Amino acid sequence: MLTPQVVITHLISPPAEPMLREAGFAVVARHDETPPPRPEVLRMIAGASAVLTVLSVKVDDEFLAAAGPGLRIVANYAVGFDNIDVAACRRRGVRASNTPGVLTEATADIAWSLILSAARRVIEGDRLVRTGQWQGWRPTELLGLELSGATLGIIGAGRIGCATARRSSGFNMRVVYSHPRDVPELDGPLAARRVELDELLQTSDIVSLHVPYRPENRHMLDARRLALLRDGALLINTARGSLIDEAALVRELSTGRIRAGLDVYEFEPRLSPGLTELPNVVLLPHLGSATHATRRAMARLAAENIIAVLSGREPLTPIA
């Protein structure tokens, strides 16, 4: 029998490559992390038994056909898998996996980096000092939002939403959340309350998005819902850009009524016109899972999923 070939489409953290080699597979790894042009991806995966790829690569019928009938698993190097056509994978009997759990704490940390930066105007302050415009302490310079006593609204109380909520306990905050069902982990220790989305938007000082992207939540925060946010509220997004109507968000931010902290964008890496000119938004380049330890854990989990499937076992964290 031919040695199964595993293709890794981007340079990722060790130890995926050595793990897959030690498991006896022929590994073809592209040691470059810039997004490859689509034709290069399709060429690279031809004949592969497994592909380890990232969230900017669309895994659709075209991709699956290019890999060919020997493809058995696509391992996504991300927890979100809106880049993967799960139905198309099922139709072809190709398994797919993601990396849940291992990036929960790192992503919640990035949500809090954005909360603190937006609330206390950290980036604006840095810019003021750095550009030599600071003239010394002023009674009313860069006043921000006090976290103590504020209400944190968590949209989507999955692993990352809960981890983000949990971090609020050191800040003396109230927590509300919207989720399809009660979440005892929040109700008990945090005395949190489950509310409808519109009520959450109307009553929270900080709103943080933690729902996975699905076509039915595209523009979940549209112009109408953005208008429900309180004056001075912060909107934080570390989930997926398309959950927010970004053009409507730019309009709402332009009024100066709210502030935002974004790690993800509707058309990333492109930003909606006007976004970078606004002082009241903190912009990060999709860093949710970007710690050394988390990226290593993601690499390990992705490799374990591939090893399991190519050895005739179930994937550890299947999505198809």
| Rounded distance between C-alpha atoms, residue 267 and residue 273, angstroms | 11
Q: Please provide residue 83's backbone torsions phi and psi, each rounded to the nearest 5 degrees.
A: -80, -10
Beta bridge partners of 8: 29, 52
Task: Kindly state whether residue 261 participates in binding ligand GLV, applying the rule CB under 6 A.
Answer: no
CB closer to ligand GLV, 128 vs 283: 283
Task: Kindly state whether residue 242 participates in binding ligand GLV, applying the rule CB under 6 A.
Answer: no
Long-range contacts of 23-31 (CB under 8 A, 24+ apart): 23/303, 23/307, 23/310, 23/311, 25/49, 25/50, 25/306, 25/310
DSSP conformation class of 200 = H
Taking CB under 6 A as the criterion, which residues in 195-214 touch ligand GLV?
Answer: 210
Q: E strand or H helix at 297, and its extent?
A: helix 292-310
Q: Which residues are catalytic?
A: 240, 268, 286
Please choose, from the candidates 109, 43, 57, the residue with its C-alpha nearest in 3D space to the C-alpha of residue 117: 109
Nearest approach, Cβ of residue 280 and ligand GLV (Å): 24
Taking CB under 6 A as the criterion, which residues in 101-160 touch ligand GLV?
Answer: 101, 103-104, 158-160
Q: How far, CA to CA in Å, does 58 sit from each of 30, 42, 52, 76, 303? A: 17, 11, 12, 10, 19
CB closer to ligand GLV, 160 vs 319: 160
- 144 touches 120 (CB < 8 A): yes
Task: Kindly state whether residue 55 participates in binding ligand GLV, applying the rule CB under 6 A.
Answer: yes
CB closer to ligand GLV, 143 vs 293: 293
Nearest approach, Cβ of residue 234 and ligand GLV (Å): 20
Task: Kindly state whether residue 295 participates in binding ligand GLV, applying the rule CB under 6 A.
Answer: no
Nearest approach, Cβ of residue 145 and ligand GLV (Å): 25
Stretch that binds ligand GLV, among 74-82, 128-136, 199-207, 309-317 (CB under 6 A): 74-82
Nearest approach, Cβ of residue 195 and ligand GLV (Å): 19
Structure-block tokens of residue 38? 């689509």
- In the list 51, 74, 79, 155, the residue contacting ligand GLV (rule: CB under 6 A) is 79
CB closer to ligand GLV, 258 vs 320: 320
Residues near ligand GLV (CB under 6 A), total = 15
Residue entry with tokens 């293709």: 7
Structure-block tokens of residue 298? 């993601």
Structure-block tokens of residue 136? 């010394």
DSSP conformation class of 256 = T
- In the list 97, 168, 237, 289, the residue contacting ligand GLV (rule: CB under 6 A) is 289
Stretch that binds ligand GLV, among 40-48, 96-104, 191-199, 269-277 (CB under 6 A): 96-104
Nearest approach, Cβ of residue 132 and ligand GLV (Å): 36
Task: Kindly state whether residue 241 participates in binding ligand GLV, applying the rule CB under 6 A.
Answer: no
The sign of the torsion formed by the CA atoms of 292, 293, 299, 300 equals positive
Please report, as ranges, the residues that interact with ligand GLV according to CB under 6 A: 55, 78-80, 100-101, 103-104, 158-161, 210, 288-289
